[in-house]
Amino acid sequence: MPDRYDHYVIEPRWRRRWDADGIDRVRDDDERPPYYALTMFPYPSGELHTGHWYIIAPSDTAARFRRMQGYNVLFPIGFDAFGLPAENAAIERGVDPGEWTHGNIERMRQQLRLMGASFDWEREIVTCDPDYYRWTQWWFLKLYERGLAYRAGAAANWCPGCQTVLANEQVLDGLCERSDDPVERRFLTQWFFRITEYAEELLDFSGLDWPEPVTTMQRNWIGRSEGATLRFPVDVEGVDEPLSVFTTRPDTVYGATFMVLAPEHQLVERITTDEQREAVEGYVAATSRVTEIERLSTEREKTGVFTGAYAINPFNGARIPIWIADYVLVTYGTGAIMAVPAHDERDFAFARDHGLEVIPVFDHPEIDVDAPLEAAFTEGGAMINSGPFDGTPAGEAIPAVVAHAEAERAGTGAVTYRLRDWLISRQRYWGSPIPMIHCESCGVVPVPESELPVLLPENVHFEPTGQSPLTLIEEWVNVDCPSCGGAARRETDTLDTFMCSSWYQMRYVDPHNPERPFSAETARHWLPVDLYTGGAEHAVMHLLYTRFFWKAARDMEIVEGDEPMKRLFNQGDILGPDGNRMSKSRGNVVAPDDLVEQYGADAFRCQLMFIGPWDQGGPYNPSGMPGIVRWLNRLWSVATEPPPDPGDGAASREIVAATQRTVRDVTGDIEGFRFNTAIARLMELTTALARARESGGVDGATWDRSVETLILLTAPLAPHIAEELWERRDRPYSVHQQAWPEFDESLVVEETVQIVVQVNGKVRDRLSLPPDAGEDEARERALASERVQGWVEGKEPRRVIYVPSKLLNIVV
RNA sequence: GCCGAAGUGGCGGAAUUGGCAGACGCGACGGUCUCAAACACCGUUGGGCGUUAAGCCCGUGCCGGUUCGAGUCCGGCCUUCGGCACCA
């Protein structure tokens, strides 16, 4: 019976052994330095797919690598288990969301076990378990106490057919995905978190090792704008308060020729004249059917309607018309703008389409400002048409105008953020109940902490009543007011699932604590997270929410430090073999279980890591699997077959150097998540050893050290085969508890280096030189070469560029 | 549309700071071992010119620029992907 690599036998055997030994249990009192490696927890959709493997297997490799480097690594897993799909299953198939979710979790746990990932399963958390969401509710109360939670009106997608609120993904081209009814916007009173209070601090990423594109996206998302709010009196009887607008260009105020309100602006109804009412109401209704993305498109025609009302420019007394248009959003700034068509492209387009006046208030060296403008221009020289400000240079214009506005009480300098407060209310069943009670006499009253969790009731019916399903459960909704004891009703909205994932990394450090979300000591020991890996699709929302949560917790002295995740890495998306997102409808889904069955978890892990850089993702095609399998087989042979004939040991030196280069490169590659090149280097060393075994000349000690180094370097990537080979070489269990090999530079010193010789930038020859050769020596040797002479043709070099150990370029 | 990213052989990709384009692997072709085969082994493999060879020319999405030298830097496009606040 030939002794060959058989994943089918060795993988389950080692998983059972690791499990029995508790090799992945993490202790808080371990003396090694702590290292917290976190991978974004999955939603329990029902089946582990290739995408999960692509996210988790490399994370596991990174965690195992740190463990071998001497850290006590916390690498937990759990399930982000509340959310829409469970409720859809309930509506469509009548299954209970809780049962559906728990069934999925059980299945995915089994599948995850096959991966050979070094999770400490005793720390598993499931966000829909009352033991977890009790603390999610606790966080809500803390944020409420702190004044960071409040109620306000906000729009939701409303399907009149289903009588229900829809998620954005349930709206397709403005229609409900279930009933095809046109979706409307409906205003509801909902809960918000004041994330904007932290906007300024959230712009600061100093000290964070995060990918630059993510911080850029977050900065743009927060969208800080400096400018001013200006107050324009409204020329309508009964409207005494002025119309407040935010502008980044207060210096163009003399060029404001009309005002634009968002159609949802609260003043619209009060200022609209009788003649314009029908048009305005029609436009407001039409706007409720347009998505925000469409509204912000700069290509789209700028529609709008005149309200019939006028405002007074506080600077020059000009009486200017007030319009409504959907390119102004009620959620940004004050929901109203002063339009300066001469100096703003959107305002210009609007003015052109609706025949409104254009008054330039800056001159320009290349534009005739007395002629009708062809387009808006944003950079000008000095102010014109601006009364006392005429001649003020552009650089001084904004402070001058703001100072004047403040003196005249017509406005103030202001900073606005694009970031909006976080809407956390969901009109759904499958989420954590918001722990609040509405009492007629006391108003909104928090549920006392001692009464948490507010349990989600079971046996709920999902009927299209226009209410959240929780509203219908009288025995749950009706409750005594904690404050006065009178009859009161529970809040029937549930929490956004982003809230569950905003603090889960904190719960992992102390997951079974019944008294607190976690103890202060464990938090100090483990937090913040050292390495967070997950999809770039979370670059903005989840990662901003969790930063906000952390900062709020810090201000409440629950955690220490300013940031929750020190280092962040975003892996790319794995696609189907056709380059499209894997989906059942496309028929391009690759099922991991089948591949694991056929090739083993190690091979599948390695193939996923080998296909390309982790942050790039890309198409996954199992057709590349034979290359990985061949490598593992070759590794098996090298490690299990007898050593080569030592001969005179002449090849030892090169094997030592090759091994050391591999140590250096693989260490750097795993550190930088370049698993693809790490595996390429391991393949090269494996091949080099296999060839050396054939040709001989390697002494026994060198051979053993090289083979065992190769196994150690492979261990984080292919944990099962490494363990098996380590045991077969009679090394002490476990390979995963061994120290990572140290690179020794003195063993790789080269006697000569190859220098490329170019003539006019084209490679014409190569030279072998000592590494410390100087330019003169290199030049002399190069010019002596016949091939170089042929290209130089006796001409005198005009210039010679020498890069030591690399290249010599002769320019003639 | 806005914000962010990516385009290199038949395919996945490599080239970490501007310095030999195509490492490593798949596939293909040729061969070895074998009764036969394999997840075994060896070799060739960007395109063109060249009988072989030496060698030469072209070549990193497109157009232009900077440089002794550009896959890499700059400007302008094209295409694909992620996010856009109720999918998670």
Task: State whether residue A632 is helix, strand or coil.
Answer: helix
Angle in degrees, CA A655, A658, A661, rounded to 5: 150
Domain-embedded: residue A795: yes
Closest nucleotide (C1' vs CA) to A299 is B1
Question: Residue A338's beta-bridge partner residues?
Answer: A259
| Residue pLDDT, tens place only, A321-343 | 999 999 999 888 899 999 999 99
DSSP A447: P
A583-591 own/partner pairs: CB under 8 Å, 24+ apart: A589/A49, A589/A50, A590/A50, A590/A620, A590/A622, A591/A47, A591/A49, A591/A50
B strand bases under 7 Å from protein CB: 1-6, 11-16, 19-21, 23-27, 39-42, 55-57, 68-70, 81-88
Residues 560-619 of A with CB under 7 A from strand B: 573, 581, 598, 610-613, 616, 618-619
Question: Residue A763's beta-bridge partner residues?
Answer: A758
- Give me the amino acid identity at A637: S
Residues 46-75 of A with CB under 7 A from strand B: none
CA distance A251 to A381: 12
Q: Which of A547, A517, A704, A475 is nearest to A204 (CA)?
A: A547
Residues 625-664 of A with CB under 7 A from strand B: 626-631, 633-634, 637
Q: A228 CA, B51 C1': separation in Å?
A: 81
- The answer to whether some atom of strand B lies closer than 7 Å to the beta carbon of A420 is yes
Which CA-bearing residue is nearest the C1' of B80?
A: A579
What per-residue confidence (pLDDT) applies to A464? 67
Residues 82-121 of A with CB under 7 A from strand B: 82-85
Confidence of residue A749 (pLDDT cuts 50, 70, 90): confident
Q: A781 CA, B58 C1': separation in Å?
A: 30
Residues A762 and A634 grouped into a single domain = no
Are A384 and A360 contacting, i.e. CB atoms less than 8 angstroms apart?
A: yes
Domain-embedded: residue A461: no
Q: A262 CA, B51 C1': separation in Å?
A: 79
Q: A581 CA, B61 C1': separation in Å?
A: 22
- What is the distance, to the nearest Å, from the Cα of residue A771 to the centroid of all Cα atoms in its chain? 45
Angle in degrees, CA A121, A126, A132, rounded to 5: 115
Residues A797 and A740 grouped into a single domain = no
Closest nucleotide (C1' vs CA) to A427 is B86
Question: Residue A189's beta-bridge partner residues?
Answer: A153
Mean pLDDT of A198-218: 92
The domain total for chain A is 3
Look up tokens 């759990």; give the residue. Answer: A78
Closest nucleotide (C1' vs CA) to A682 is B24
- The answer to whether some atom of strand B lies closer than 7 Å to the beta carbon of A676 is yes
Are A566 and A530 contacting, i.e. CB atoms less than 8 angstroms apart?
A: yes
Domain-embedded: residue A233: yes
For chain A, what percent of residues have pLDDT higher than 70? 100
Residues 209-228 of A with CB under 7 A from strand B: 212-213, 216-217, 220-221, 223
- The answer to whether some atom of strand B lies closer than 7 Å to the beta carbon of A691 is yes
Q: A808 CA, B19 C1': separation in Å?
A: 9
Q: A786 CA, B51 C1': separation in Å?
A: 27
Confidence of residue A286 (pLDDT cuts 50, 70, 90): confident
Last residue of a domain, one of A417, A437, A452: A417
Residues A632 and A739 grouped into a single domain = yes
Q: A109 CA, B19 C1': separation in Å?
A: 51
Q: Which of A293, A544, A295, A252 is nearest to A383 (CA)?
A: A252
| Residue pLDDT, tens place only, A433-486 | 999 999 999 999 999 999 999 999 987 887 767 777 888 888 999 999 999 999
Residues A635 and A689 grouped into a single domain = yes
Residues 283-312 of A with CB under 7 A from strand B: 292-293, 296-299
- The answer to whether some atom of strand B lies closer than 7 Å to the beta carbon of A623 is yes
Domain-embedded: residue A139: no
Q: A571 CA, B66 C1': separation in Å?
A: 34
ipTM for the complex? 0.94
Neighbours of A262 (CB within 10 A): 25
Neighbours of A239 (CB within 10 A): 15
Q: Is the dihedral of CA A603, A608, A609, A611 positive or negative?
A: positive
Which CA-bearing residue is nearest the C1' of B13?
A: A612
Q: A489 CA, B55 C1': separation in Å?
A: 90
CA distance A164 to A268: 27
Q: A719 CA, B70 C1': separation in Å?
A: 42
Closest nucleotide (C1' vs CA) to A41 is B88
DSSP A292: H
Task: State whether residue A338 is helix, strand or coil.
Answer: strand
Q: What letters, b where the CB count within 10 A reaches 16 and e where it falls short, cover A700-715?
A: eebbeebbbbbbbbbb
- The answer to whether some atom of strand B lies closer than 7 Å to the beta carbon of A768 is no
Residues 707-746 of A with CB under 7 A from strand B: none
For chain A, the residue count is 812
Residues A237 and A330 grouped into a single domain = yes
Angle in degrees, CA A138, A140, A144, rounded to 5: 115
CA distance A246 to A333: 6
Neighbours of A524 (CB within 10 A): 12
Q: A763 CA, B49 C1': separation in Å?
A: 19
Domain-embedded: residue A127: no
The sheet with strand A336-339 has its strands ordered as A305-312, A319-324, A258-261, A336-339
CA distance A91 to A162: 11
Does the pLDDT value for residue A699 go beyond 50? Answer: yes
CA distance A366 to A375: 13
HEC letters along A591-618: CHHHHHHHHCHHHHHHHHHHCCCCCCCE
CA distance A75 to A62: 10
Residues A284 and A413 grouped into a single domain = yes
What per-residue confidence (pLDDT) applies to A489? 95
Give me the helices (H) in A611-699, please.
625-640, 652-671, 675-695
Q: What letters, b where the CB count within 10 A reaches 16 and e where it falls short, cover A123-132?
A: bbbbbbbeeb
Residues A258 and A401 grouped into a single domain = yes
What per-residue confidence (pLDDT) applies to A792? 77
Which CA-bearing residue is nearest the C1' of B42?
A: A691
Domain-embedded: residue A647: yes
Rounded-to-10 torsion of CA A366, A371, A373, A377: 30
Q: E strand or H helix at A433, and its extent? A: none
Residues A760 and A679 grouped into a single domain = no
Look up tokens 């040797």; give the residue. Answer: A781
Are A685 and A639 contacting, i.e. CB atoms less than 8 angstroms apart?
A: no
Residues A389 and A272 grouped into a single domain = yes
Pick the most confident of A202-211, A283-292, A759-768, A800-809.
A202-211
| Residue pLDDT, tens place only, A417-427 | 999 999 999 99
CA distance A277 to A273: 6
For residue A395, what are the contacts with CB-CB under 8 A and spacing of at least 6?
none
Domain-embedded: residue A339: yes
What is the domain extent for residue A800?
753-811
Closest nucleotide (C1' vs CA) to A690 is B41
Does the pLDDT value for residue A2 go beyond 70? Answer: no
Q: Euclidean distance between the first and final Cα of chain A, in Å?
A: 68
- The answer to whether some atom of strand B lies closer than 7 Å to the beta carbon of A27 is no
Q: A538 CA, B74 C1': separation in Å?
A: 32
Residues 341-400 of A with CB under 7 A from strand B: none
Q: Which of A324, A284, A320, A280 is nearest to A302 (CA)?
A: A324
Last residue of a domain, one of A700, A731, A748: A748
Pairing of strands A164-166, A149-159: antiparallel
CA distance A116 to A131: 28
Tell me the CATH number at A778: 3.10.20.590
Residues A661 and A798 grouped into a single domain = no
Which CA-bearing residue is nearest the C1' of B24?
A: A680
CA distance A30 to A164: 52
Q: A719 CA, B86 C1': separation in Å?
A: 41
Are A7 and A603 contacting, i.e. CB atoms less than 8 angstroms apart?
A: yes
Question: Residue A39's beta-bridge partner residues?
Answer: A533
Task: State whether residue A542 is helix, strand or coil.
Answer: helix
Domain-embedded: residue A289: yes
Q: A809 CA, B70 C1': separation in Å?
A: 15
- The answer to whether some atom of strand B lies closer than 7 Å to the beta carbon of A432 is no
CA distance A737 to A717: 14
Residues A379 and A250 grouped into a single domain = yes
Which CA-bearing residue is nearest the C1' of B69?
A: A761
- The answer to whether some atom of strand B lies closer than 7 Å to the beta carbon of A764 is yes
What per-residue confidence (pLDDT) applies to A1? 36
CA–CA distance from A495 to each of A450, A543, A558 (Å)? Answer: 20, 17, 21
CA distance A437 to A426: 16
Q: A298 CA, B76 C1': separation in Å?
A: 20
Are A436 and A446 contacting, i.e. CB atoms less than 8 angstroms apart?
A: yes
Last residue of a domain, one of A417, A451, A482: A417
CA distance A479 to A499: 25
Residues A672 and A770 grouped into a single domain = no
Mean pLDDT of A487-510: 96
Question: Residue A571's beta-bridge partner residues?
Answer: A535
Tokens representing residue A575 in the block: 């696609």
CA distance A290 to A326: 9
Tell me the CATH number at A254: 3.90.740.10
Which CA-bearing residue is nearest the C1' of B26?
A: A624
CA distance A250 to A229: 8
Confidence of residue A751 (pLDDT cuts 50, 70, 90): confident
For chain A, what percent of residues have pLDDT higher than 90? 68
- Residue A184's φ and ψ, nearest 5 degrees, are -115, 170
Q: A683 CA, B72 C1': separation in Å?
A: 27
Instruction: Could you list the beta-strand ranges (E) of A671-761.
Output: 753-759
Q: Is the dihedral of CA A4, A61, A631, A49 positive or negative?
A: positive
Give me the helices (H) in A32-96, please.
50-68, 84-93
Q: A624 CA, B11 C1': separation in Å?
A: 9
Does the pLDDT value for residue A109 go beyond 60? Answer: yes
What per-residue confidence (pLDDT) applies to A323? 95
Are A133 and A432 contacting, i.e. CB atoms less than 8 angstroms apart?
A: yes
Residues 130-169 of A with CB under 7 A from strand B: 154, 156-157, 165-169
**Average pLDDT of chain A to the nearest whole number:** 91
